[in-house]
Amino acid sequence: MATNVILNLLAALALLGLLYAQQRKHASFSVRVFTGMGLGVLLGAALQALYGAGAAEVKITGDYLDIVGSGYVKLLQMIVMPLIMVSIISAILKLKGINSLGKISALTIGTLMVTTLVAASIGIVMAKLFSLSAVGLTASAADIARGVYLQGKVETAQAISLPSMLLSFIPANPFLDMTGGRKTSTIAVVIFSVFIGIAATGIHDKKPDIFASFERFIQVAHAIVMRIVTLVLRLTPYGVFALMAQVVSSSSYTDILHLIDFVLASYSALLLMFVVHLAIVSGLGLNPLRWSKKILPLLTFAFTSRSSAGAIPMSVQTQTTRLGTPEGIANFAASFGATIGQNGCAGIYPAMLAVMIAPTVGIDPFTLGFIAPLLAIITIGSVGVAGVGGGATFAALIVLSSMNLPVALAGLLISIEPLIDMGRTALNVSGSVTAGAVASRVLGETDMAVFNSDAEPPVDSERKAA
């Protein structure tokens, strides 16, 4: 076995070498990302064919690949809080007044909530078209164990209310939130940063010297943080390669085929919601094809990493250097979108799950008396969904327990959870970027020269960023 693992790792190193060669030849960022994804699929499929999904060789090889894949995600998570703080403070110092901040927040959050409502509605329609039902599904030992685990989490989910969730956004201990110690830490850091920015602008006239010093400090901090972002984002192709190889090599195709209806219904709903995002973008006067091309590398990373929070740095970079969205709006959209109104995890998934499970307790899920409260609970419950893998499960617990449905049945989907979560995360990130575009266009802040440019952004080019 040791020899096989060594050969697997040598193959992985060779493929990583190909990616490095592309970087040395200054291939575009998009090309390198998609090459990394393709090579990851190739390696994962080869490992699956040679050993099988549950083989020890696959697991050990995956553990080593995890150093590259999860290591990259952790580096991104490392810079999330510093990036949010310096970017939002810097943006507030440049804003003309508090009214601008209020408009940005209202437009961003409003778009996220409305699109989540639309996503939930699409999820219900897809569940109807594919005739999804949990009636008659058999449970494996893993499914049963997962169901028991979910049942134990119901009390925690039921204890959450909208007032308590809103209170959790307030940073009672901002230093704890800077460590990401709570599920709502991202929003808490945003709020703390807003207070710092507002306080700084308040001394602009009274203590101009101190304000000038603070502004200079933020400029320096911003430049350093953005340089770190640049360095980390260069590793994206390698991270995507490792993450994709792990997913493909460890996926059980038998389990996927067993629940193929749910997989197809989920991805049909996800793709339809992507079309809704493109319709919104088109309505804003932006070319949807150009938009899709510019955000595709970001969605690829979100798809492979399954981390909305980890995608924040790349989301901000994509919005500012590719879409022409101002940095302040981009940070608000990326930060709020990682916690509030996630179209995939908090919209489509719990809606489909509720419709699928309702028949097991004799409830017709396609009546107004069921759908109306379901949509209301999903929209309100979408506030505060965690931006990491597992956020969809938490959202489902809130919805199912609120609708008095058996939450343990959600464990029946454990075998295909990673596959579905990849698409959900990509949709979450697409939704947050769309919300940023709405705020930017409505406020007349979008730099159309950047959006219409076909030039590769400097952060993606080693020659320009070095």
The answer on pLDDT for 457 being more than 70 is: no
The answer on pLDDT for 130 being more than 80 is: yes
The answer on pLDDT for 14 being more than 90 is: yes
d(CA 315, CA 308): 9
pLDDT at 278: 97
Kindly report the backbone phi and psi dihedral angles of residue 338, in degrees, each rounded to the nearest multiple of 5, phi listed first: -85, -5
| Range scoring the smallest mean pLDDT among 74-78, 95-99, 378-382, 449-453 | 95-99
Extract the tokens encoding 5.
Answer: 């693992």
Higher pLDDT: 108 or 166? It is: 108
Higher pLDDT: 28 or 217? It is: 217
d(CA 238, CA 10): 15
| Range scoring the smallest mean pLDDT among 79-83, 163-167, 331-335, 427-431 | 163-167
Mean pLDDT (whole number) for 116-138? 87
Distance, C-alpha 225 to centroid of its chain: 21
Higher pLDDT: 180 or 3? It is: 3
- Within 13 Å, how many C-alpha atoms sit on residue 301's CB side? 30
The answer on pLDDT for 158 being more than 90 is: no
pLDDT at 97: 53
d(CA 254, CA 464): 47
d(CA 83, CA 320): 13
Contacts of 285 (CB under 8 A, 6+ apart): 441
pLDDT at 250: 83
Q: How far apart are the first and last CA of the chain?
A: 42
Which pTM value belongs to this model?
A: 0.80
Q: What percent of the chain has pLDDT over 90?
A: 44
> Which string of DSSP letters, residue by residue, matches 80-120?
HHHHHHHHHHHHHHHSS-HHHHHHHHHHHHHHHHHHHHHHH
Secondary element (H or E) of residue 327: helix 327-337
Mean pLDDT (whole number) for 133-139? 66
Higher pLDDT: 418 or 174? It is: 174
The answer on pLDDT for 107 being more than 90 is: yes
Q: Are 307 and 387 in contact (CB under 8 A)?
A: yes
Q: Are 250 and 43 in contact (CB under 8 A)?
A: no
Q: Which of 43-52, 86-95, 119-128, 225-234 has the highest mean pLDDT?
A: 119-128
The answer on pLDDT for 145 being more than 60 is: no
Secondary element (H or E) of residue 15: helix 2-24
pLDDT tens digit string along 356-388?
A: 989 988 899 999 999 999 999 898 877 766 544
pLDDT at 20: 93
Extract the tokens encoding 363.
Answer: 């409830």
d(CA 129, CA 126): 5
The answer on pLDDT for 140 being more than 60 is: no
d(CA 326, CA 44): 39
pLDDT tens digit string along 236-253?
A: 999 999 999 998 888 777
Strands of 241-370, DSSP E: none
Q: Long-range contacts for 278-282 (Cβ within 8 Å, ≥24 apart)?
A: 280/111, 280/115, 280/434, 280/437, 280/438, 281/434, 281/437
Query: pLDDT band for position 355 (50/70/90)?
Result: very high
Q: Are 357 and 127 in contact (CB under 8 A)?
A: no
d(CA 164, CA 375): 20
d(CA 189, CA 84): 7
All domains of the chain, ordered by start, with CATH?
A: 2-465 (1.10.3860.10)
pLDDT tens digit string along 411-439?
A: 667 667 788 888 999 999 999 999 999 99
d(CA 121, CA 351): 8
